[in-house]
């Protein structure tokens, strides 16, 4: 078992504690703040909710968490010591002195400092490295490492085992790398607010509705490599180099834009991305954007809200003999290693068909908010022909039974050319969401369901309905 000692238990210290703990490390906290236990508890609650969600495997058993008022006890047997005290050099020097007295000899001492260089941290004789994480520490993998090369290498190996991404700097510099870019944007942002060009909200929209999404999956240079297109990175640089002297920001202290700089950047960009064509990079970017944008639909945040609003304005499908309950394209994120729509998304799609049918009989968001809904009890899916990325998918819904608590539906999934791609037989029961048990539907709803049930009663019994698995 390995042990991490966390010195200073704010949002950052708490995030470190959670990251270690949920990866099976024991964690000792040292923080004189009487509120530390509550604050760290709140970060841990968030972390326990979020971090395991990233993985399709269980994380190791949590380690033991202990709070100490005695620094020596907190440091006993520590493999990693992480300092996250306030950003003042005198405070950091003083705590490093105390740590030096009690720390195991080969423990790594990392500082969460946003701005100080190792030469500043260690000017009184400490042997700390910068290990600068990003909030929320339990989710975001980046840790900037700066300092003694061997210690950074050992630190990097440990950070990888707790799911982090160590980025070791080639030279020390104030504020490391990421915070330099954040500070540049911060300074420009303050000008924009002060000059009345936009509000904080508008500025945030300018980020998250556009380049923020690009940067979540590729960074500045790979994005611009794509923008340069077939003409390449040098072409892009030639196009945007001159802007450096234009008043496109108020931050005018610019480097000289010469051939040497162009060659340096173009060469590094080739090394970074040259193994992929621009076409491949574009598709990778688009797949990533689609996946992330679809994820944001769930909470309707940022672009997710824009897509939901636009989707609501799209026309409803036109009914045939049976109601059409889904009409859509198949996203590439629904396909798998077999090169076709993954089996789970047939249920995602038939679930959408069930939702549409529920709305048709009045079981809409308002009805559900009032405490009534349907739960699926059984599904039987027959996969009849493959569906591919980008193909149009429509679903028709036939009511097999609609009486009392029972709703028994038969969805037919139609691929291009009216090919029957799958059938989903689904049995649902009406429930009371507050009691989490079955209940009778509201009378208007029951009436509408029975209306469809009797309208469909004379239709032929669908081939495959009522079958067991493997029945011919």
> By rule CB under 8 A, what string of x and - marks binding of each residue 12-51 to a copy of itself?
------------------------------x---x-xxx-
Strands 26-30 and 419-432: unpaired
User: Could you say whether residue 220 binds a copy of itself (CB under 8 A)?
Assistant: yes
Closer to a copy of itself by Cβ: residue 81 or 145: 145
User: Could you say whether residue 54 binds a copy of itself (CB under 8 A)?
Assistant: yes
User: Could you say whether residue 405 binds a copy of itself (CB under 8 A)?
Assistant: no
For helices 278-297 and 303-313, give the axis angle rounded to 10 degrees. 80
- In whole angstroms, how close is the CB of 55 to a copy of itself at the nearest point? 5
User: Could you say whether residue 144 binds a copy of itself (CB under 8 A)?
Assistant: yes
Among 90, 150, 201, 463, indicate the residue that binds a copy of itself (CB under 8 A): 201
User: Could you say whether residue 157 binds a copy of itself (CB under 8 A)?
Assistant: no
What residues from 239 to 278 belong to the interface with a copy of itself (CB under 8 A)? 239-240, 243-244, 246-255, 257, 261, 264-265, 268-269, 271-272
> By rule CB under 8 A, what string of x and - marks binding of each residue 285-324 to a copy of itself?
xxxxxxxxxxxx-xx-xxx--xx-xxx-xxxxx-------
State how far the Cα of 398 lies from the Cα of 47, in Å rounded to an integer: 44
> By rule CB under 8 A, what string of x and - marks binding of each residue 450-469 to a copy of itself?
---------------xxxxx
Closer to a copy of itself by Cβ: residue 98 or 352: 352
Contacts of the segment 266-274: beta carbons below 8 A, 24+ positions apart: 266/232, 266/233, 266/234, 266/237, 268/221, 269/221, 269/222, 269/225, 269/233, 270/233, 272/221, 272/222, 273/222, 273/225
Spatial contact of 341 and 388, defined as CB atoms under 8 Å apart: yes
Kindly state the helix (H) or strand (E) to which residue 396 belongs, with its residue range: strand 392-403
Closer to a copy of itself by Cβ: residue 344 or 459: 344
What residues from 334 to 373 belong to the interface with a copy of itself (CB under 8 A)? 337-339, 342-348, 351-352, 365, 368, 373
- In whole angstroms, how close is the CB of 255 to a copy of itself at the nearest point? 5
Structure tokens at 289: 């954007």
With b for 16 or more beta-carbon neighbours within 10 A and e for fewer, the 413-430 pattern comes to bbbeeeeebbbbbbebbb
State how far the Cα of 410 lies from the Cα of 396, in Å rounded to an integer: 8
- In whole angstroms, how close is the CB of 100 to a copy of itself at the nearest point? 27
CA 165, 167, 159, 42: dihedral to nearest 10 degrees?
Answer: -70
Closer to a copy of itself by Cβ: residue 311 or 440: 311
User: Could you say whether residue 417 binds a copy of itself (CB under 8 A)?
Assistant: no
Q: What angle do CA 201, 295, 57 make, to 5 degrees?
A: 130
Structure tokens at 281: 């990079």
Bridge partners, residue 168, by sequence: 145
């Amino acid at each position: 078992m390995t042990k991490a000692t966390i010195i200073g238990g704010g949002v950052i210290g708490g995030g470190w504690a959670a990251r270690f703990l949920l990866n099976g490390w024991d964690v000792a906290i040292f923080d004189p703040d009487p509120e530390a236990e509550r604050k760290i508890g709140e970060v841990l609650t968030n972390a326990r909710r979020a971090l395991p969600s990233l993985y399709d495997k269980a994380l190791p058993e949590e380690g033991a968490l202990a709070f100490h008022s005695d620094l020596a006890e907190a440091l006993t047997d520590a493999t990693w010591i992480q300092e996250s005290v306030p950003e003042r050099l005198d405070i950091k020097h003083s705590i490093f002195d105390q740590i030096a007295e009690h720390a195991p000899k080969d423990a790594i001492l990392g500082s969460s400092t946003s701005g100080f260089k190792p030469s500043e941290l260690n000017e009184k004789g400490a042997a700390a490295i910068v290990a600068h994480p990003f909030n929320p520490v339990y989710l975001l993998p980046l840790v900037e490492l700066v300092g003694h090369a061997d210690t950074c290498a050992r630190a990097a190996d440990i950070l990888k085992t707790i799911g982090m991404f160590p980025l070791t700097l080639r030279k020390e510099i104030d504020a490391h790398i990421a915070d330099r870019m954040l500070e540049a944007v911060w300074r420009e942002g303050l000008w924009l607010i002060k000059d009345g060009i936009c509000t904080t909200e508008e500025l945030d929209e300018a980020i998250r509705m556009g380049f923020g999404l690009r940067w979540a999956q590729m960074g500045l240079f790979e994005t611009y490599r794509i923008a340069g297109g077939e003409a390449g990175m040098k072409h892009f640089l030639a196009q945007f180099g001159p802007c450096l002297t234009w008043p496109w920001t108020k931050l005018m202290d610019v480097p000289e834009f010469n051939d040497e700089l162009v060659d340096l950047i173009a060469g590094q960009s080739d090394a970074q991305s040259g193994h992929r064509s621009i076409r491949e990079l574009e598709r990778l970017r688009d797949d990533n954007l689609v996946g992330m944008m679809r994820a944001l639909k769930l909470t309707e945040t940022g672009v997710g809200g824009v897509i939901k609003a636009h989707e609501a304005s799209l026309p409803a499908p036109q009914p045939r003999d049976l109601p059409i309950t889904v009409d859509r394209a198949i996203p590439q994120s629904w396909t798998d290693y077999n090169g076709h729509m993954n089996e789970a998304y047939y249920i995602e799609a038939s679930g959408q068909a069930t939702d549409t049918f529920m709305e048709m009989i009045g079981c809409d968001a308002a009805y559900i908010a009032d405490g009534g809904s349907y739960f699926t009890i059984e599904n039987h899916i027959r996969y009849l022909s493959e569906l591919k990325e980008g193909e149009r998918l429509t679903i028709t819904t036939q009511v097999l039974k609609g009486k009392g608590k029972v709703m028994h539906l038969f969805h037919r999934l139609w691929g291009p050319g009216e090919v029957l791609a799958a059938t989903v037989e689904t049995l649902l029961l009406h429930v009371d969401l507050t009691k989490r048990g079955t209940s009778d539907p509201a009378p208007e709803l029951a009436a509408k369901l029975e209306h469809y049930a009797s309208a469909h009663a004379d239709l032929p019994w669908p081939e495959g309905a009522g079958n067991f698995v493997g029945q011919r």
